[in-house]
Amino acid sequence: DYAPPRYDGPRAAEILRKRSEYLSPSMFYFYKKPLNIVDGKMQYLFDQDGRRYLDAFAGIATVCCGHCHPDVVDAVVRQTSHLQHSTVVYLNHAIADFAEALASKLPGDLKVVFFTNSGTEANELALLITRLYTGCHDIVSVRNAYHGNAAGTMGTTAQYNWKFNVMQSGVHHAMNPDPYRGAFGSDGEKYARDVQEIIEFGTSGQVAGFISESIQGVGGVVELAPGYLPAVYESIRKAGGLCIADEVQSGFARTGSHFWGFEAHGIVPDIVTMAKGIGNGIPLGAVVTTPEIAQVLTRRNYFNTFGGNPVCTAGGLAVLRVLEKENLQHNALLVGSYLKGRLKALQQKHEIIGDVRGRGMMLGVELVTDRKQKTPARTEISHAMDQMKDMGVLVGKGGFYGNVFRITPPLCFTKEDADFFTEVMDI
């Protein structure tokens, strides 16, 4: 019963021309010839010709409930017809209800919410809060992390090798606790000593804070070595700093075993940042912290125009309800573990698969031309992505060398989808 709009030849050619003339070249990182996607329905996307694609990337790990989930669409449409915008200067039930529902998903005293429009802004604010609260400037982040692309977050991102990164004074990049490529394998405590040394040798002994993802997403779905985060949190807190968990990608049930990625590490952060899954594709982000820490923003007149927009927060509330009603965290765990098992079996068959990792529906497959040397298979991954696209499957890529498949589908992915995905990848 589904018929996406179809464009004839001249219209399609016109879109192609506009894309190459007016859109940023960075749009062509994933596909040299990107698709013209016109429609989405749950785990599927549809191109201009009505061709259906199984979406294993979910708009960069964002669409958690499924594309255009009817409950989310309904909540957004209803709110749009009442009030589209007011700013957080005024109260509105959509903002207040969502803030309460969000706080109920977090442990301990984490219950004061600041809304933003994106993950980048959430992290910018979190970094600012650590500095205001502690009166210190030094921040520690992890190499290969991704925290956003504004001035502050780009500095903590530690992936870009751009001269503009020097804007970030006071940011220290710690060794990446990467079990596959890191010098200490899976020994989290050894990597954590690097943070301790940064504090001792690179700062006054006092720091503002530490920021890390629970599983690195853009960096190639890198699971941090066990024991790393608890040890680092202890060192940072001893040095007076606050610990930020960047849950932009790993939050909202994506990792399956827990609602938040940090829970798997047995830690409770001082500040949690989130975006992506929070709105199922509606631009929204948030910073959640404790009432005591939140005090630093009293009388500082800190807000942004769209943060807490009622249409977005109404959508956010619907997302939380759908996640619960459809038990999507459980599905992420079951189907994600099944898919990981199938991908591990592929690894036995194909020399090019160096590593299969991740949790729930945040999985990574790293391609190497030589398993011993771990030489990144860059060209091969681009070819494979094109071939998979032709066979009806969309997937992401990332990692420092751009050689890791990022598999982050909508959490409604089924076992049959996982089978189809694996068969298409087995080429």
CB 160 within 8 A of CB 154: yes
Q: Residue 150 Cβ, how far from ligand PLP at the closest point, in Å?
A: 8
Alpha carbon distance 221, 108 (integer Å): 28
Binding site for ligand PLP (CB under 6 A): 60, 118-120, 123, 146-148, 213, 217-218, 246, 248-249, 275
Nearer to ligand PLP, 217 or 358 (CB): 217
Nearer to ligand PLP, 120 or 168 (CB): 120
Nearer to ligand PLP, 148 or 307 (CB): 148
Written as six digits, the tokens of 64 are 């958690």
Alpha carbon distance 155, 193 (integer Å): 22
Burial class of residue 372 (count of CB atoms within 10 Å of its CB; 0-12, 13-18, 19+): exposed
Written as six digits, the tokens of 408 are 């982050």
Nearer to ligand PLP, 42 or 150 (CB): 150
Angle at 222 (CA atoms; ends 217, 226), nearest 5 degrees: 130
Return the DSSP state at 67.
Answer: B
Length reported for the chain: 427
DSSP 166-191: GG-TTEEEEPP--TTTSTTTT-HHHH
Q: Residue 249 Cβ, how far from ligand PLP at the closest point, in Å?
A: 4
Q: Which residues contact 161 (CB under 8 A, 6 or more apart)?
A: none
Nearer to ligand PLP, 60 or 101 (CB): 60
Nearer to ligand PLP, 47 or 213 (CB): 213
Nearer to ligand PLP, 170 or 283 (CB): 283
Return the DSSP state at 90.
Answer: S
Phi, psi of 167 (to 5 degrees): -55, -25
Q: Residue 119 Cβ, how far from ligand PLP at the closest point, in Å?
A: 2
Q: Residue 244 Cβ, how far from ligand PLP at the closest point, in Å?
A: 11
Alpha carbon distance 156, 101 (integer Å): 30
Q: Residue 58 Cβ, how far from ligand PLP at the closest point, in Å?
A: 12
Q: Which residue is nearest to ligand PLP (CB)?
A: 119
Q: Residue 90 Cβ, how far from ligand PLP at the closest point, in Å?
A: 25
Phi, psi of 103 (to 5 degrees): -60, -35
Nearer to ligand PLP, 173 or 190 (CB): 173
Q: Residue 152 Cβ, how far from ligand PLP at the closest point, in Å?
A: 12
Alpha carbon distance 75, 314 (integer Å): 6
Alpha carbon distance 357, 149 (integer Å): 26
Nearer to ligand PLP, 116 or 203 (CB): 116
